[in-house]
Chains A and B, each alone.
Chain A
Amino acid sequence: MIFLLPAMLVLFLTTIYPMLYAGYLSFRSYDLAKPFVPRVFVGWSNYQQVLTSGDFLNALSITFQLMVITLSIQLVVGVGLALLVTQRLPGMGIARTLLLIPMMISPVIVGLVWLFLYFPELGYLNYFLSFVGLDPIPWITSPNWALWAIAIADIWQWTPFIMMGTAAALTSLSPEPYEAARIDGNTRWQVFRHVTLPQLKPVLVSLVFLRAIDAFKIYDIIFVLTKGGPGDSTEVLSLYIYRQSFTFWQMGVGAAASFVSLIIIVVLITLFFKSLNRDQTA
Protein backbone atom coordinates (compact mmCIF):
# COMPACT_ATOMS: atom_id res chain seq x y z
CA MET A 1 0.00 0.00 0.00
CA ILE A 2 1.15 3.52 -0.80
CA PHE A 3 1.06 4.52 2.87
CA LEU A 4 3.88 2.20 3.71
CA LEU A 5 6.23 3.15 0.90
CA PRO A 6 7.45 6.61 2.01
CA ALA A 7 8.63 5.41 5.43
CA MET A 8 10.22 2.29 3.97
CA LEU A 9 11.97 4.40 1.36
CA VAL A 10 13.24 6.86 3.98
CA LEU A 11 14.45 4.04 6.21
CA PHE A 12 16.08 2.31 3.27
CA LEU A 13 17.94 5.43 2.23
CA THR A 14 18.95 6.39 5.76
CA THR A 15 19.87 3.03 7.27
CA ILE A 16 20.25 0.28 4.69
CA TYR A 17 22.27 2.46 2.33
CA PRO A 18 24.81 3.50 5.00
CA MET A 19 25.06 -0.11 6.12
CA LEU A 20 25.73 -1.28 2.57
CA TYR A 21 28.26 1.50 2.30
CA ALA A 22 29.87 0.27 5.53
CA GLY A 23 29.96 -3.19 3.96
CA TYR A 24 31.68 -1.76 0.90
CA LEU A 25 34.19 0.16 3.04
CA SER A 26 35.00 -2.92 5.08
CA PHE A 27 36.61 -4.49 2.00
CA ARG A 28 38.64 -1.42 1.16
CA SER A 29 41.72 0.20 2.48
CA TYR A 30 40.47 3.65 3.37
CA ASP A 31 42.68 5.99 5.32
CA LEU A 32 40.88 9.28 5.86
CA ALA A 33 44.15 10.97 6.75
CA LYS A 34 45.38 10.26 3.20
CA PRO A 35 42.48 11.41 1.04
CA PHE A 36 44.30 11.11 -2.28
CA VAL A 37 45.41 7.52 -1.91
CA PRO A 38 42.98 5.35 -3.92
CA ARG A 39 40.70 3.11 -1.84
CA VAL A 40 41.89 -0.23 -3.09
CA PHE A 41 40.03 -3.50 -2.66
CA VAL A 42 41.75 -5.50 0.05
CA GLY A 43 39.50 -8.57 0.30
CA TRP A 44 39.02 -9.93 3.80
CA SER A 45 42.17 -8.36 5.21
CA ASN A 46 40.30 -5.76 7.33
CA TYR A 47 38.22 -8.55 8.83
CA GLN A 48 41.33 -10.61 9.37
CA GLN A 49 42.98 -7.68 11.10
CA VAL A 50 39.92 -7.12 13.32
CA LEU A 51 39.27 -10.72 14.26
CA THR A 52 42.88 -11.56 15.03
CA SER A 53 43.66 -8.36 16.94
CA GLY A 54 43.79 -8.60 20.70
CA ASP A 55 42.21 -5.14 20.93
CA PHE A 56 39.00 -6.21 19.22
CA LEU A 57 38.65 -9.38 21.29
CA ASN A 58 39.35 -7.35 24.41
CA ALA A 59 36.63 -4.88 23.42
CA LEU A 60 34.19 -7.71 22.76
CA SER A 61 34.95 -9.28 26.11
CA ILE A 62 34.54 -5.96 27.99
CA THR A 63 31.24 -5.29 26.22
CA PHE A 64 29.90 -8.65 27.39
CA GLN A 65 31.30 -8.27 30.91
CA LEU A 66 29.59 -4.91 31.25
CA MET A 67 26.38 -6.35 29.83
CA VAL A 68 26.34 -9.25 32.31
CA ILE A 69 27.18 -7.05 35.33
CA THR A 70 24.62 -4.34 34.58
CA LEU A 71 21.83 -6.64 33.42
CA SER A 72 21.99 -8.97 36.40
CA ILE A 73 21.99 -6.15 38.97
CA GLN A 74 19.32 -4.18 37.13
CA LEU A 75 17.14 -7.27 36.95
CA VAL A 76 17.35 -8.13 40.66
CA VAL A 77 17.05 -4.55 41.96
CA GLY A 78 14.46 -3.60 39.36
CA VAL A 79 12.17 -6.52 40.17
CA GLY A 80 12.64 -5.82 43.89
CA LEU A 81 11.65 -2.18 43.45
CA ALA A 82 8.68 -3.21 41.32
CA LEU A 83 7.45 -5.46 44.15
CA LEU A 84 7.74 -2.49 46.53
CA VAL A 85 5.98 0.13 44.41
CA THR A 86 3.07 -2.18 43.59
CA GLN A 87 2.17 -2.60 47.30
CA ARG A 88 -1.25 -1.22 48.16
CA LEU A 89 0.01 1.65 50.28
CA PRO A 90 -0.40 5.42 50.00
CA GLY A 91 2.34 7.32 48.18
CA MET A 92 3.41 4.42 45.95
CA GLY A 93 2.39 6.23 42.75
CA ILE A 94 4.59 9.22 43.54
CA ALA A 95 7.55 7.02 44.49
CA ARG A 96 7.15 5.09 41.25
CA THR A 97 7.09 8.26 39.14
CA LEU A 98 10.09 9.81 40.90
CA LEU A 99 12.13 6.62 40.44
CA LEU A 100 11.56 6.79 36.68
CA ILE A 101 13.35 10.14 36.26
CA PRO A 102 16.90 8.81 35.57
CA MET A 103 15.74 7.02 32.41
CA MET A 104 14.82 10.16 30.52
CA ILE A 105 18.07 12.00 31.23
CA SER A 106 20.59 12.29 28.43
CA PRO A 107 23.34 9.68 28.94
CA VAL A 108 25.95 12.44 28.59
CA ILE A 109 24.45 14.22 31.57
CA VAL A 110 24.38 10.92 33.48
CA GLY A 111 28.06 10.53 32.65
CA LEU A 112 28.85 14.08 33.76
CA VAL A 113 27.06 13.87 37.11
CA TRP A 114 28.74 10.56 37.91
CA LEU A 115 32.06 12.07 36.89
CA PHE A 116 31.30 14.81 39.42
CA LEU A 117 30.67 12.11 42.04
CA TYR A 118 33.68 9.96 41.15
CA PHE A 119 36.12 12.82 40.61
CA PRO A 120 39.52 12.06 42.18
CA GLU A 121 40.05 13.98 45.47
CA LEU A 122 36.98 16.20 45.01
CA GLY A 123 34.12 13.79 44.26
CA TYR A 124 31.44 13.35 46.89
CA LEU A 125 31.01 9.60 46.49
CA ASN A 126 34.16 8.66 48.39
CA TYR A 127 33.19 11.21 51.02
CA PHE A 128 29.78 9.55 51.46
CA LEU A 129 31.42 6.12 51.53
CA SER A 130 33.80 7.21 54.29
CA PHE A 131 30.77 7.32 56.62
CA VAL A 132 30.39 3.56 56.26
CA GLY A 133 34.12 3.15 56.87
CA LEU A 134 35.30 2.66 53.29
CA ASP A 135 38.68 3.89 52.11
CA PRO A 136 38.69 6.19 49.06
CA ILE A 137 38.16 4.19 45.89
CA PRO A 138 40.08 5.24 42.72
CA TRP A 139 36.86 4.96 40.67
CA ILE A 140 37.94 6.14 37.25
CA THR A 141 41.69 6.15 37.62
CA SER A 142 42.22 2.48 38.35
CA PRO A 143 41.74 -0.22 35.69
CA ASN A 144 40.27 -2.46 38.40
CA TRP A 145 37.48 -0.03 39.27
CA ALA A 146 36.74 1.84 36.05
CA LEU A 147 34.40 -0.81 34.64
CA TRP A 148 32.47 -0.84 37.92
CA ALA A 149 32.25 2.93 37.87
CA ILE A 150 30.63 2.74 34.43
CA ALA A 151 28.41 -0.15 35.46
CA ILE A 152 27.12 1.81 38.48
CA ALA A 153 26.18 4.81 36.33
CA ASP A 154 24.39 2.54 33.84
CA ILE A 155 22.65 0.63 36.64
CA TRP A 156 21.54 3.94 38.15
CA GLN A 157 20.01 5.04 34.85
CA TRP A 158 18.37 1.79 33.73
CA THR A 159 17.24 -0.09 36.86
CA PRO A 160 14.07 2.07 36.73
CA PHE A 161 13.38 0.62 33.29
CA ILE A 162 13.19 -2.94 34.66
CA MET A 163 11.15 -1.64 37.61
CA MET A 164 8.71 0.14 35.31
CA GLY A 165 8.15 -2.83 33.00
CA THR A 166 7.88 -5.32 35.86
CA ALA A 167 5.51 -3.09 37.84
CA ALA A 168 3.27 -2.73 34.77
CA ALA A 169 3.20 -6.51 34.38
CA LEU A 170 2.60 -7.11 38.12
CA THR A 171 -0.48 -4.90 38.22
CA SER A 172 -2.02 -6.82 35.32
CA LEU A 173 -1.59 -10.28 36.91
CA SER A 174 -4.77 -12.11 37.79
CA PRO A 175 -5.38 -12.49 41.55
CA GLU A 176 -6.79 -16.03 41.62
CA PRO A 177 -3.54 -18.04 41.74
CA TYR A 178 -2.44 -15.93 44.72
CA GLU A 179 -5.52 -16.71 46.75
CA ALA A 180 -5.13 -20.40 45.96
CA ALA A 181 -1.45 -20.34 46.90
CA ARG A 182 -2.13 -18.49 50.13
CA ILE A 183 -4.87 -20.92 51.16
CA ASP A 184 -2.39 -23.73 50.58
CA GLY A 185 -0.23 -22.11 53.27
CA ASN A 186 2.78 -21.12 51.19
CA THR A 187 5.32 -18.57 52.42
CA ARG A 188 5.71 -15.25 50.66
CA TRP A 189 8.92 -16.38 48.99
CA GLN A 190 7.29 -19.59 47.76
CA VAL A 191 4.39 -17.62 46.32
CA PHE A 192 6.79 -15.25 44.57
CA ARG A 193 9.02 -18.04 43.29
CA HIS A 194 6.29 -20.38 42.03
CA VAL A 195 3.35 -18.11 41.22
CA THR A 196 4.56 -14.58 40.45
CA LEU A 197 7.87 -15.27 38.73
CA PRO A 198 6.57 -17.76 36.13
CA GLN A 199 3.85 -15.27 35.16
CA LEU A 200 6.38 -12.43 34.89
CA LYS A 201 8.82 -14.43 32.83
CA PRO A 202 7.71 -13.37 29.32
CA VAL A 203 7.86 -9.69 30.27
CA LEU A 204 11.22 -10.07 31.98
CA VAL A 205 12.62 -11.82 28.91
CA SER A 206 11.51 -8.90 26.70
CA LEU A 207 12.93 -6.34 29.10
CA VAL A 208 16.26 -8.14 29.35
CA PHE A 209 16.58 -8.40 25.58
CA LEU A 210 15.81 -4.70 25.14
CA ARG A 211 18.47 -3.87 27.74
CA ALA A 212 20.97 -6.30 26.18
CA ILE A 213 20.53 -4.69 22.76
CA ASP A 214 21.03 -1.26 24.37
CA ALA A 215 24.01 -2.47 26.39
CA PHE A 216 25.66 -3.26 23.10
CA LYS A 217 25.32 0.34 22.02
CA ILE A 218 26.70 1.94 25.21
CA TYR A 219 28.94 4.84 24.32
CA ASP A 220 28.11 8.21 25.89
CA ILE A 221 28.62 7.31 29.55
CA ILE A 222 31.99 5.69 28.83
CA PHE A 223 33.05 8.54 26.57
CA VAL A 224 32.46 10.98 29.44
CA LEU A 225 33.81 8.90 32.31
CA THR A 226 36.91 7.12 31.01
CA LYS A 227 37.11 7.35 27.18
CA GLY A 228 37.86 3.62 27.29
CA GLY A 229 40.71 3.91 29.80
CA PRO A 230 42.68 3.57 31.95
CA GLY A 231 44.65 1.58 29.35
CA ASP A 232 41.95 -0.26 27.49
CA SER A 233 40.13 -1.48 30.61
CA THR A 234 36.77 0.02 29.60
CA GLU A 235 37.12 0.03 25.83
CA VAL A 236 33.83 -1.47 24.66
CA LEU A 237 33.09 -2.19 21.00
CA SER A 238 31.69 1.26 20.20
CA LEU A 239 34.80 2.93 21.56
CA TYR A 240 37.03 0.50 19.69
CA ILE A 241 35.24 1.33 16.43
CA TYR A 242 35.43 5.04 17.23
CA ARG A 243 39.15 4.84 17.89
CA GLN A 244 39.92 2.86 14.72
CA SER A 245 37.86 5.24 12.59
CA PHE A 246 38.46 8.65 14.10
CA THR A 247 41.78 8.39 15.92
CA PHE A 248 43.69 6.13 13.53
CA TRP A 249 41.51 7.14 10.53
CA GLN A 250 41.34 3.48 9.48
CA MET A 251 37.80 3.69 8.12
CA GLY A 252 38.04 0.25 6.50
CA VAL A 253 39.02 -1.45 9.74
CA GLY A 254 36.35 0.49 11.65
CA ALA A 255 33.74 -0.58 9.11
CA ALA A 256 34.79 -4.22 9.36
CA ALA A 257 34.51 -4.09 13.15
CA SER A 258 31.10 -2.41 12.76
CA PHE A 259 29.95 -5.26 10.58
CA VAL A 260 31.06 -7.91 13.03
CA SER A 261 29.15 -6.12 15.80
CA LEU A 262 26.13 -5.80 13.50
CA ILE A 263 26.08 -9.58 13.11
CA ILE A 264 26.08 -10.04 16.89
CA ILE A 265 23.28 -7.52 17.33
CA VAL A 266 21.23 -9.17 14.57
CA VAL A 267 21.44 -12.43 16.51
CA LEU A 268 20.22 -10.65 19.68
CA ILE A 269 17.38 -8.92 17.81
CA THR A 270 16.28 -12.16 16.16
CA LEU A 271 16.19 -13.90 19.54
CA PHE A 272 14.16 -10.97 20.93
CA PHE A 273 11.58 -11.18 18.12
CA LYS A 274 11.37 -14.97 18.50
CA SER A 275 10.59 -14.51 22.20
CA LEU A 276 7.95 -11.86 21.38
CA ASN A 277 6.27 -14.08 18.79
CA ARG A 278 6.22 -17.00 21.21
CA ASP A 279 4.39 -14.83 23.76
CA GLN A 280 1.85 -13.76 21.20
CA THR A 281 1.05 -17.28 20.07
CA ALA A 282 1.15 -18.81 23.56
Chain B
Amino acid sequence: MNKPSMQQAILVYALLGIALIVFLTPIYLIASSSVKPSPIMFQRPPAMLFEPTFEHYRDLFTMRPFGKFIMNSLMVALGSTAFSVFFGSIAAYAISRIKHKRMNDIAFWILSMRMFPPIAVVVPYYIIFKTAGLLDTPLALIIVYSTANIPLTVWLMKGFFDEVPRALEEAAAVDGHGLISIFWRVTLPLAAPGLAVSAVFCFIFSWNEFLFALMLTGSEAQTATVAVMSFWSSDAVQWGRIMAGSFVILIPGVVFVLTCQRWLVRGLTMGSVK
Protein backbone atom coordinates (compact mmCIF):
# COMPACT_ATOMS: atom_id res chain seq x y z
CA MET B 1 0.00 0.00 0.00
CA ASN B 2 1.16 3.53 -0.72
CA LYS B 3 2.14 5.96 1.95
CA PRO B 4 -0.86 8.17 2.77
CA SER B 5 -0.83 11.83 1.79
CA MET B 6 -0.73 14.66 4.35
CA GLN B 7 -4.52 15.13 4.40
CA GLN B 8 -5.12 11.41 4.68
CA ALA B 9 -2.63 11.20 7.54
CA ILE B 10 -4.48 13.96 9.43
CA LEU B 11 -7.77 12.13 8.92
CA VAL B 12 -6.26 8.83 10.13
CA TYR B 13 -4.83 10.46 13.25
CA ALA B 14 -8.09 12.31 13.99
CA LEU B 15 -10.20 9.14 13.72
CA LEU B 16 -7.73 7.11 15.75
CA GLY B 17 -7.64 9.86 18.36
CA ILE B 18 -11.41 9.59 18.78
CA ALA B 19 -11.16 5.79 18.97
CA LEU B 20 -8.45 5.99 21.61
CA ILE B 21 -10.51 8.38 23.72
CA VAL B 22 -13.54 6.09 23.50
CA PHE B 23 -11.66 2.89 24.26
CA LEU B 24 -9.36 4.23 26.97
CA THR B 25 -11.67 6.58 28.93
CA PRO B 26 -13.30 3.75 30.92
CA ILE B 27 -9.86 2.47 31.91
CA TYR B 28 -8.75 5.97 32.91
CA LEU B 29 -11.95 6.26 34.96
CA ILE B 30 -11.18 3.08 36.89
CA ALA B 31 -7.66 4.28 37.66
CA SER B 32 -8.61 7.85 38.60
CA SER B 33 -11.72 6.92 40.60
CA SER B 34 -9.70 4.45 42.63
CA VAL B 35 -7.65 7.32 44.07
CA LYS B 36 -10.39 9.97 44.11
CA PRO B 37 -11.77 11.05 47.48
CA SER B 38 -15.41 9.95 47.85
CA PRO B 39 -16.93 13.47 48.23
CA ILE B 40 -15.76 14.53 44.75
CA MET B 41 -16.36 11.13 43.06
CA PHE B 42 -19.28 12.39 40.97
CA GLN B 43 -18.46 16.09 40.87
CA ARG B 44 -19.44 17.97 37.68
CA PRO B 45 -17.37 18.77 35.79
CA PRO B 46 -15.28 15.72 36.73
CA ALA B 47 -12.39 16.67 39.01
CA MET B 48 -9.24 16.15 36.93
CA LEU B 49 -6.72 17.56 39.39
CA PHE B 50 -7.07 16.44 42.97
CA GLU B 51 -4.98 15.20 45.83
CA PRO B 52 -4.93 11.41 45.26
CA THR B 53 -6.01 9.34 48.22
CA PHE B 54 -5.19 5.74 48.93
CA GLU B 55 -8.01 5.31 51.43
CA HIS B 56 -9.99 3.05 49.05
CA TYR B 57 -7.03 0.70 48.71
CA ARG B 58 -6.47 0.82 52.46
CA ASP B 59 -10.15 0.00 53.13
CA LEU B 60 -9.99 -2.81 50.60
CA PHE B 61 -7.29 -4.61 52.52
CA THR B 62 -8.20 -3.62 56.09
CA MET B 63 -12.01 -3.50 56.22
CA ARG B 64 -12.29 -6.42 53.82
CA PRO B 65 -10.11 -9.52 53.49
CA PHE B 66 -9.32 -8.55 49.89
CA GLY B 67 -5.78 -9.86 50.30
CA LYS B 68 -7.21 -13.31 50.94
CA PHE B 69 -9.44 -13.10 47.85
CA ILE B 70 -6.45 -12.07 45.74
CA MET B 71 -4.53 -15.05 47.11
CA ASN B 72 -7.47 -17.32 46.22
CA SER B 73 -7.48 -15.92 42.68
CA LEU B 74 -3.74 -16.44 42.40
CA MET B 75 -3.91 -19.98 43.74
CA VAL B 76 -6.73 -20.96 41.40
CA ALA B 77 -5.15 -19.29 38.36
CA LEU B 78 -1.69 -20.77 38.97
CA GLY B 79 -3.11 -24.20 39.77
CA SER B 80 -5.22 -24.33 36.65
CA THR B 81 -2.37 -22.98 34.54
CA ALA B 82 0.07 -25.66 35.71
CA PHE B 83 -2.50 -28.41 35.26
CA SER B 84 -3.61 -27.24 31.80
CA VAL B 85 -0.16 -26.56 30.39
CA PHE B 86 1.00 -30.03 31.47
CA PHE B 87 -1.91 -32.03 30.06
CA GLY B 88 -2.51 -29.69 27.14
CA SER B 89 1.02 -29.67 25.81
CA ILE B 90 1.50 -33.44 25.82
CA ALA B 91 -1.83 -33.87 24.06
CA ALA B 92 -0.86 -31.18 21.56
CA TYR B 93 2.37 -33.04 20.85
CA ALA B 94 0.45 -36.19 20.01
CA ILE B 95 -1.95 -34.30 17.76
CA SER B 96 0.89 -32.52 16.02
CA ARG B 97 2.93 -35.69 15.36
CA ILE B 98 0.42 -38.43 14.61
CA LYS B 99 -0.67 -38.35 10.99
CA HIS B 100 -4.09 -39.90 10.96
CA LYS B 101 -7.27 -38.72 9.33
CA ARG B 102 -9.24 -38.89 12.59
CA MET B 103 -6.71 -36.62 14.31
CA ASN B 104 -8.39 -33.51 12.97
CA ASP B 105 -11.69 -34.64 14.43
CA ILE B 106 -10.10 -35.19 17.83
CA ALA B 107 -8.49 -31.74 17.68
CA PHE B 108 -11.83 -30.14 16.85
CA TRP B 109 -13.57 -32.14 19.55
CA ILE B 110 -11.08 -30.82 22.09
CA LEU B 111 -11.51 -27.26 20.83
CA SER B 112 -15.30 -27.52 20.99
CA MET B 113 -15.01 -28.26 24.72
CA ARG B 114 -13.90 -24.68 25.16
CA MET B 115 -16.81 -23.23 23.28
CA PHE B 116 -19.70 -24.65 25.25
CA PRO B 117 -21.63 -22.14 27.34
CA PRO B 118 -20.43 -22.37 30.96
CA ILE B 119 -23.96 -21.90 32.22
CA ALA B 120 -24.97 -25.22 30.64
CA VAL B 121 -22.64 -27.18 32.91
CA VAL B 122 -22.74 -25.06 36.04
CA VAL B 123 -25.75 -26.93 37.47
CA PRO B 124 -24.17 -30.38 37.14
CA TYR B 125 -20.86 -29.03 38.49
CA TYR B 126 -22.67 -27.54 41.45
CA ILE B 127 -24.34 -30.84 42.28
CA ILE B 128 -21.21 -32.93 41.65
CA PHE B 129 -18.99 -30.70 43.80
CA LYS B 130 -21.63 -30.52 46.50
CA THR B 131 -21.74 -34.31 46.62
CA ALA B 132 -17.94 -34.54 46.61
CA GLY B 133 -17.64 -31.91 49.34
CA LEU B 134 -15.59 -29.65 47.08
CA LEU B 135 -17.91 -26.63 46.99
CA ASP B 136 -16.11 -23.49 48.13
CA THR B 137 -12.61 -24.93 47.60
CA PRO B 138 -9.95 -23.70 45.17
CA LEU B 139 -9.67 -27.24 43.79
CA ALA B 140 -13.19 -27.07 42.34
CA LEU B 141 -12.32 -23.93 40.37
CA ILE B 142 -8.96 -25.34 39.27
CA ILE B 143 -10.76 -28.34 37.77
CA VAL B 144 -13.45 -26.26 36.10
CA TYR B 145 -11.07 -23.68 34.60
CA SER B 146 -8.88 -26.44 33.24
CA THR B 147 -11.73 -27.61 31.04
CA ALA B 148 -11.45 -24.31 29.21
CA ASN B 149 -7.67 -23.96 29.49
CA ILE B 150 -6.65 -27.43 28.28
CA PRO B 151 -8.31 -26.98 24.85
CA LEU B 152 -6.71 -23.55 24.53
CA THR B 153 -3.26 -24.95 25.36
CA VAL B 154 -3.75 -27.87 22.98
CA TRP B 155 -4.52 -25.55 20.07
CA LEU B 156 -1.79 -23.05 20.81
CA MET B 157 0.89 -25.69 21.44
CA LYS B 158 -0.11 -27.70 18.36
CA GLY B 159 0.83 -24.65 16.28
CA PHE B 160 4.19 -24.32 18.03
CA PHE B 161 4.99 -28.05 17.79
CA ASP B 162 4.12 -28.02 14.08
CA GLU B 163 6.90 -25.49 13.62
CA VAL B 164 9.61 -27.59 15.31
CA PRO B 165 11.58 -29.32 12.52
CA ARG B 166 11.09 -33.07 12.45
CA ALA B 167 14.71 -33.56 11.40
CA LEU B 168 15.92 -32.55 14.88
CA GLU B 169 13.74 -35.20 16.50
CA GLU B 170 14.87 -37.82 14.01
CA ALA B 171 18.51 -36.96 14.74
CA ALA B 172 17.87 -37.40 18.46
CA ALA B 173 16.17 -40.73 17.78
CA VAL B 174 19.26 -41.88 15.85
CA ASP B 175 21.33 -40.94 18.91
CA GLY B 176 19.28 -43.44 20.88
CA HIS B 177 16.85 -41.13 22.68
CA GLY B 178 13.42 -42.52 23.50
CA LEU B 179 10.11 -40.83 22.77
CA ILE B 180 9.75 -39.14 26.15
CA SER B 181 13.38 -38.07 26.17
CA ILE B 182 13.02 -36.49 22.70
CA PHE B 183 9.87 -34.66 23.74
CA TRP B 184 11.45 -33.42 26.98
CA ARG B 185 14.94 -32.55 25.73
CA VAL B 186 14.43 -31.54 22.10
CA THR B 187 10.89 -30.53 21.22
CA LEU B 188 9.67 -28.88 24.39
CA PRO B 189 12.65 -26.47 24.78
CA LEU B 190 12.18 -25.37 21.16
CA ALA B 191 8.50 -24.71 21.76
CA ALA B 192 9.22 -22.83 25.00
CA PRO B 193 7.70 -19.52 23.79
CA GLY B 194 4.47 -21.44 23.19
CA LEU B 195 4.50 -22.71 26.76
CA ALA B 196 4.92 -19.17 28.04
CA VAL B 197 2.10 -17.82 25.87
CA SER B 198 -0.24 -20.68 26.80
CA ALA B 199 0.54 -20.22 30.47
CA VAL B 200 -0.18 -16.50 30.37
CA PHE B 201 -3.48 -17.03 28.55
CA CYS B 202 -4.56 -19.75 31.00
CA PHE B 203 -3.62 -17.51 33.91
CA ILE B 204 -5.55 -14.49 32.66
CA PHE B 205 -8.69 -16.41 31.72
CA SER B 206 -8.77 -18.02 35.16
CA TRP B 207 -7.97 -14.75 36.91
CA ASN B 208 -10.76 -12.90 35.07
CA GLU B 209 -13.44 -15.58 35.36
CA PHE B 210 -16.60 -14.76 37.27
CA LEU B 211 -19.58 -17.07 36.64
CA PHE B 212 -18.14 -20.32 38.03
CA ALA B 213 -16.41 -18.50 40.86
CA LEU B 214 -19.74 -16.95 41.82
CA MET B 215 -21.65 -20.23 41.79
CA LEU B 216 -19.07 -22.61 43.20
CA THR B 217 -17.48 -20.62 46.00
CA GLY B 218 -18.66 -19.09 49.23
CA SER B 219 -16.77 -17.06 51.78
CA GLU B 220 -13.68 -19.32 51.92
CA ALA B 221 -12.54 -19.80 48.32
CA GLN B 222 -14.09 -16.61 46.91
CA THR B 223 -11.98 -15.03 44.18
CA ALA B 224 -11.26 -11.33 43.65
CA THR B 225 -13.79 -10.85 40.82
CA VAL B 226 -16.63 -12.14 42.99
CA ALA B 227 -15.43 -10.12 45.96
CA VAL B 228 -15.44 -6.85 44.00
CA MET B 229 -18.96 -7.57 42.85
CA SER B 230 -20.01 -8.19 46.45
CA PHE B 231 -18.94 -4.65 47.47
CA TRP B 232 -21.65 -3.52 45.12
CA SER B 233 -24.46 -5.13 47.09
CA SER B 234 -23.16 -5.05 50.63
CA ASP B 235 -21.73 -1.58 51.25
CA ALA B 236 -24.37 0.64 49.64
CA VAL B 237 -22.20 1.21 46.56
CA GLN B 238 -18.70 2.00 47.69
CA TRP B 239 -17.55 3.19 44.28
CA GLY B 240 -14.04 4.04 45.46
CA ARG B 241 -13.56 0.55 46.82
CA ILE B 242 -15.09 -1.07 43.73
CA MET B 243 -12.77 0.89 41.46
CA ALA B 244 -9.71 0.15 43.60
CA GLY B 245 -10.53 -3.57 43.49
CA SER B 246 -11.20 -3.37 39.75
CA PHE B 247 -7.87 -1.70 39.16
CA VAL B 248 -6.02 -4.45 41.02
CA ILE B 249 -7.86 -7.09 38.97
CA LEU B 250 -7.21 -5.49 35.59
CA ILE B 251 -3.44 -5.17 36.05
CA PRO B 252 -2.40 -8.65 34.77
CA GLY B 253 -4.48 -8.33 31.58
CA VAL B 254 -3.21 -4.85 30.76
CA VAL B 255 0.42 -5.84 31.39
CA PHE B 256 -0.09 -8.81 29.10
CA VAL B 257 -1.48 -6.67 26.26
CA LEU B 258 1.32 -4.11 26.57
CA THR B 259 4.10 -6.71 26.61
CA CYS B 260 2.97 -9.58 24.39
CA GLN B 261 0.42 -8.18 21.98
CA ARG B 262 1.86 -10.11 19.05
CA TRP B 263 0.68 -13.38 20.62
CA LEU B 264 -2.85 -12.13 21.26
CA VAL B 265 -4.13 -12.87 17.77
CA ARG B 266 -3.08 -16.48 17.93
CA GLY B 267 -4.38 -17.05 21.42
CA LEU B 268 -7.76 -15.40 21.06
CA THR B 269 -8.61 -16.89 17.68
CA MET B 270 -7.39 -20.38 18.67
CA GLY B 271 -4.85 -20.21 15.90
CA SER B 272 -7.46 -19.64 13.18
CA VAL B 273 -5.80 -16.27 12.40
CA LYS B 274 -2.01 -16.07 12.51
Min C-beta distance of B115 to chain A, whole Å:
5
Chain B CB within 8 A of A261 CB:
yes
Question: How many residues in B have their beta carbons less than 8 Å from beta carbons of A?
Answer: 92
Inter-chain contact A98/B264, CB cutoff 8 Å: no
Contact of A175 among B1, B117, B253 (CB under 8 A): B1
Chain B CB within 8 A of A251 CB:
yes
Contact of B19 among A6, A84, A106, A213 (CB under 8 A): A84
Q: Interface 1/0s, chain A 167-210, versus B by CB < 8 A? A: 01100000100100010000000000000000000010011001
Inter-chain contact B243/A169, CB cutoff 8 Å: no
Inter-chain contact B119/A219, CB cutoff 8 Å: yes
Stretch in B48-56, B57-65, B170-178, B225-233 touching the partner: B225-233
Q: Interface 1/0s, chain A 120-137, versus B by CB < 8 A? A: 001010010000000000
Inter-chain contact B26/A207, CB cutoff 8 Å: no
Contact of A109 among B44, B211, B246, B268 (CB under 8 A): B246
Chain A CB within 8 A of B242 CB:
yes
Chain B CB within 8 A of A105 CB:
yes
Inter-chain contact B117/A112, CB cutoff 8 Å: no
A-B contact pairs, 18 of them (CB 8 A): A3-B93, A4-B98, A14-B144, A15-B121, A18-B124, A18-B128, A19-B120, A84-B15, A89-B13, A95-B20, A99-B20, A106-B207, A106-B253, A114-B26, A164-B265, A223-B214, A241-B120, A266-B112
Chain A residues within 8 Å of B, Cβ to Cβ: 1, 3-4, 6-8, 10-11, 14-15, 17-19, 21-22, 25, 80-81, 84-89, 91, 95-110, 112-117, 122, 124, 127, 156, 159-161, 164-165, 168-169, 175, 178, 182, 203, 206-207, 210, 213, 216-217, 219-220, 223-224, 237-238, 241-242, 245-246, 251, 254-255, 258-259, 261-262, 265-266, 269, 273, 276-277
List 14 additional contacts besides A109-B225, A112-B228; criterion CB under 8 Å: A6-B91, A14-B146, A21-B128, A87-B12, A91-B13, A101-B23, A109-B208, A113-B27, A116-B29, A124-B46, A168-B265, A178-B1, A207-B269, A258-B117
